[in-house]
Amino acid sequence: GEDVEQSLFLSVREGDSSVINCTYTDSSSTYLYWYKQEPGAGLQLLTYIFSNMDMKQDQRLTVLLNKKDKHLSLRIADTQTGDSAIYFCAEILSYNTDKLIFGTGTRLQVFP
Amino acid sequence: SQTIHQWPATLVQPVGSPLSLECTVEGTSNPNLYWYRQAAGRGLQLLFYSVGIGQISSEVPQNLSASRPQDRQFILSSKKLLLSDSGFYLCAWSPQTERGTGELFFGEGSRLTVL
């Protein structure tokens, strides 16, 4: 079955880079996603990457995809306290219904 | 613009009591609708999804049910709550397209505590 795994916690100092890792199982997934959940709120799509890409950069965010190892990472440059949140990676299960399988989420804590 | 509303935001219920969580979407028509549950340390689990009125698919066997009485209304229910039903429930929608984008729009969530 499908399974998406992430480490549960990451703590970084303000101004440093954060790297959040994710492994997925479905090699046929053509899109992979990063969602952000701020405390007590719903999720918002941060960025996504198409499976024929190795890297995607969007301002402070860099997504790296290693399709051979089924490994996805999200790098946040110059991490700020406002980046403190839970970050979920997700793979798409069904295109017709946008069914996503989410990872367990990584809680990022940024300290001054 | 499209908005999604969920209520109540928090709920404390005794074991064995009924449950009704409501979700409505505005500013779009014929959306795909989803209920997810977020339990501590377990990430997000897809409970139900719906592609149209009266069309509900259940992803996991459980004590809960869902209904879609109107195009933009999605309700999560239980006749008798269990302790294990505690969690953070998230409603989401996505536009119906020929090929999905994977972008879901989430509500603010409903925190349910069963005592």
Per-residue pLDDT reduced to its tens digit, A6-53: 988 999 999 999 999 999 887 676 789 999 999 888 899 999 998 888
What whole-number percentage of chain A has pLDDT above 70? 93
Give A97's pLDDT tier (boundaries 50, 70, 90).
low
Give B101's pLDDT tier (boundaries 50, 70, 90).
confident
Q: What is the pLDDT of residue A18?
A: 97
Residue A59 CB partners (closer than 8 Å, separation 6+):
none
Q: What is the pLDDT of residue B74?
A: 97
- Of all residues in chain A, the one with the smallest CA distance to B31 is A97
Q: Hey, what amino acid is at A30?
A: T
Q: Please give the Cα distance from B43 to A100 (Å, whole number).
A: 12
The region of weakest confidence among B56-60, B64-68, B106-110 is B56-60
The region of weakest confidence among B40-44, B62-66, B109-113 is B40-44
Residue A107 CB partners (closer than 8 Å, separation 6+):
A8, A9, A10, A85, A86
> Looking at the predicted structure, is the pLDDT value of residue B43 above 90?
no
In A81-110, the residues whose Cβ lies within 8 Å of chain B are 88, 90, 92, 94-105
Per-residue pLDDT, averaged over B85-111, amounts to 88
What whole-number percentage of chain B has pLDDT above 70? 97
Q: What is the pLDDT of residue B100?
A: 66
Contact (CB<8Å) A90/B102 = yes
**Buried b / exposed e along A67-87 (16+ C-beta atoms within 10 A):** eeebebbbbbeebeeebbbbb
Contact (CB<8Å) B49/A99 = yes
> Looking at the predicted structure, is the pLDDT value of residue A111 above 60?
yes
Measure in Å the smallest separation between the Cα of A57 and chain B Cα atoms.
18
**Distances from the Cα of B81 to the Cα of B49, B95, B112, B114, angstroms:** 21, 32, 10, 7
CA dihedral A36, B64, B42, A30 (to 10 degrees): -60
Q: Name the E strands within B1-115.
A: 3-7, 10-13, 19-26, 32-39, 43-52, 55-58, 65-70, 73-78, 87-94, 105-106, 110-114
Compute the mean pLDDT over every residue in chain A, rounded to the nearest whole number. 89
Token pair in block for residue A3: 């399974």
Q: What is the pLDDT of residue A2?
A: 58
> Looking at the predicted structure, is the pLDDT value of residue B7 above 60?
yes
Give A1's pLDDT tier (boundaries 50, 70, 90).
very low
Measure in Å the smallest separation between the Cα of A95 and chain B Cα atoms.
5
Nearest to B63 by CA among B83, B45, B46: B83
In A1-30, the residues whose Cβ lies within 8 Å of chain B are 4, 6, 8
